[in-house]
Chains A and B, each alone.
Chain A
């Protein structure tokens, strides 16, 4: 019943998406507003119907109705209810439905806001074509509500590796990010279609872009955290094609976020911005293709399915059409101003863009080179972690340096005096840091360099805030507290960006630390035995078992002290599930700001002798904490109200007003 309802909802929304496109096109021709209203209604209806379909599938998953193939494949009766619900995105069909649903919700929000009246119909046509693609796939190729041909009492169950908090957050946030980039993409194309080269589409979609970018950041980060805690997924980042697939749009999305600022302020880089948003959106589609086609070997991929060619075809069509539209309007976009100076914010933004796009290209190259090689020479090869690290690490370091320099140099042209005032303190701070670190024994040159550059960038960012506070105090005579508060809150866009930078720099510290100085050891211990690793003294007290629901848990009791201080008990364990063939190894992690003690129970003998793999991973906590700071920064920057829209200086605000009015007049006339 619910299955039929769900499938009918998909079919109906497919029809209505068609209808909406048709009406929007007619509206553009006739300017009859009733057509617009009707189309708008059908956009809402697709949102409603895809919601119904999603709820139907969730309901079936919740009930555990194994007469539905999808439910049978991904759940079982002993699975807790919230994991049954997460099975919506455990498989191919369900995650397509999630995608279509999110896109439909986003689309109805866009049409409701109707921010740029002349663009909305075209934006909607573009979004609905995308919806149509996903709905079509579900309606005719892989129906999430497909029924089983035979009767089953029990489902195959959700893989234990997916039974983790990561499953609740990572896929949804990644999809929210992926789908979110459709909105700025649609606006960019719409602006071109109606021959507008101003930056209104950028202003209107700024919130969408930043939120999509934030979700993609969270998605990537939670994926990393999940892989870190899950044995056999190669640590927090393994440059797997599927990981790369969501890293690439993140990189180009980051580049886009920065380069649009140059267009807003200086009316430059118009073509570049269009190209960036097209690439970003196409990369999200390409990522979906990689994940679903089975064309590359990956641990995280869906099985090879015939869907791949449809995704590839759609990706190529989107790419060709959007580039085609761009080239047909190229005259409109030309006529950029020239760069006035090499040492200016514009040029450092351009450089940061080059680096980000360079990293994207390198990652793309490494990801698809196996395909090229096979197609061209017939040699089947594979590109592994060292490639990505050797290419992206130096680029990343230049990026870090730019993150220090960029915010501090002025628009147009920076004077020597300006440079000295901004950089003396951060430069000295990083020099002092480097000397201390060297004296304390940090001798690996790349690690030392990486840390020093990151400290420089952090110091430069903080120093800029301090200077701002001091100047504000001097002018207004406010107390430090009030001056700080007002400075930050009234320039939320700028300082939100700074907070995001600090979050990313923290992550980079964590990445450098954990790559540069990790320790790994294999030990076999009898009950009662004690070993020492670094300053940790670990005593293996006992091997026990307990029941948890229908599952059996075998766990090792370890007593751990660090420098004589007790850290309590750590219990790495294995869970044996009733419906799964394999157990699930759950690592025990004791995390501090300095390092993580990471213990895996590898196996045991009948007499209780057990083998452990023990790792000490420095600074990993900084990576996750940096992620939270990034979220805080994003929310801070986007918080609506005074101070969120412009760079803070009153003159800029006035200029901004004048500009936007000028724009309106232009288009009225």
Chain B
């Protein structure tokens, strides 16, 4: 029977280790998902490491300086806008009008500094049926 006990002990140990790893990981890799409206209302939790938002680009405000490189634009949900700054190469499908996901933090001046800018895989993205 002691073998069985040892087996149980080993599995418990493993489960404990898993629990610790997941708990530890959750402190580092969890961000808050906000709509643009919520982000503007400053509903931001203290303990999150980053903020993620989805929206579309207001192309009248978009400006790309390829030599820095720096991309600035307003992220919009149709009615609300948030100025975003992204200091990296402009993704190819940025101009195509597809929804965009940004990850990063708000700067003091209210602009959103994106560390990551993802464009939804557009060919697979099927337009809402009209």
Residues of A within 8 A of B (CB): 73-74, 90-92, 158-162, 231-232, 234, 297-303, 305, 338-339, 342, 354, 358, 361-362, 365-366, 369-370, 379-391, 394-395, 522, 524, 574, 580-585, 600, 602-605, 609-611, 613
B residues 17-52 near A (Cβ < 8 Å) are 18, 21-22, 24-26, 28-34, 45, 48-50, 52
Are A382 and B118 in contact, with the CB atoms below 8 A? no
Of chain A, the residue at the smallest CB distance from B45 is A379
Q: What is the 8 Å Cβ interface bit string for chain B, positions 98-113, against chain A (1 contact, 0 not)? A: 0001010000000000
CB <8 Å contact, B14 and A384:
no
- In contact, A379 and B116 (Cβ under 8 angstroms): no
State whether B29 touches A386 (Cβ < 8 A).
yes
Give Cα A121–Cα B119 distance, bound, in whole angstroms: 47
C-alpha gap A613/B90 in the complex (Å) = 11
Does A384 contact B31, Cβ atoms closer than 8 Å?
yes
Give the nearest-CB partner of B50 in chain A. Answer: A384
14 contacts between A and B (CB under 8 A): A159-B123, A161-B121, A231-B91, A338-B4, A354-B14, A361-B18, A369-B26, A384-B30, A385-B29, A390-B24, A395-B21, A522-B88, A583-B92, A603-B67
CB–CB B101/A366 < 8 A: no
Q: Which residues of B contact A384 (CB under 8 A)?
A: 29-31, 49-50, 52, 103
- A584→B92 contact, CB < 8 A: yes
Contacts of A361 in B (CB 8 A): 18
* Residues of A close to B45: CB separation below 8 A: 379
Complex Cα gap A199–B1 (Å) = 27
Q: How many angstroms between the C-alpha atoms of A7 and B82 in the bound complex?
A: 47
* Residues of A with C-beta under 8 A to B92: 160-161, 231-232, 574, 582-585
What is the size category of the interface that chain B forms with chain A? 35 or more
| Contact call A362/B22, Cβ cutoff below 8 A | yes
Interface of A is mostly: mixed
How far in angstroms is the closest Cβ of chain A from B45? 8
Cβ contact of B30, chosen from A381, A389, A609, cutoff 8 A: A381
Pair B67/A524 contact, Cβ less than 8 Å? yes
In the docked arrangement, what's the CA distance between A232 and B54, Å?
16
A529 CB to closest chain B CB (Å) equals 13
Residues of the B chain whose Cβ atoms lie less than 8 Å from the Cβ of A582: 92-96
Which of A339, A390, A395, A611 sits near B69, CB closer than 8 Å? A611
- A588 CB to closest chain B CB (Å) equals 14
Chain A contacts of B97 at CB under 8 A? 581
CB–CB A602/B122 < 8 A: no
B96 to chain A, nearest CB (A): 5
CB contacts under 8 Å to A, within B36-85, are 45, 48-50, 52, 54, 64-69
A387 touches B125 (CB 8 A): no
Contacts of B89 in A (CB 8 A): 231, 585, 600, 602-603, 611, 613
- Chain B residues whose CB sits within 8 angstroms of the CB of A342 once the complex forms: 6, 10
Complex CA gap A524/B68 in Å reads 7
* Assembly CA distance A626 to B121 (angstroms): 28
Bound CA span A370–B32, Å: 9
Contact of A297 among B66, B69, B101, B128 (CB under 8 A): B101
Closest 4 CB pairs of A and B: A603-B66, A387-B29, A159-B123, A232-B91
Cβ-neighbour of A381 out of B48, B68, B101 (below 8 A) = B48
Whole-angstrom distance from the CB of A521 to the nearest CB of chain B?
12
Q: For B64, list chain A residues within 8 Å (CB).
A: 603
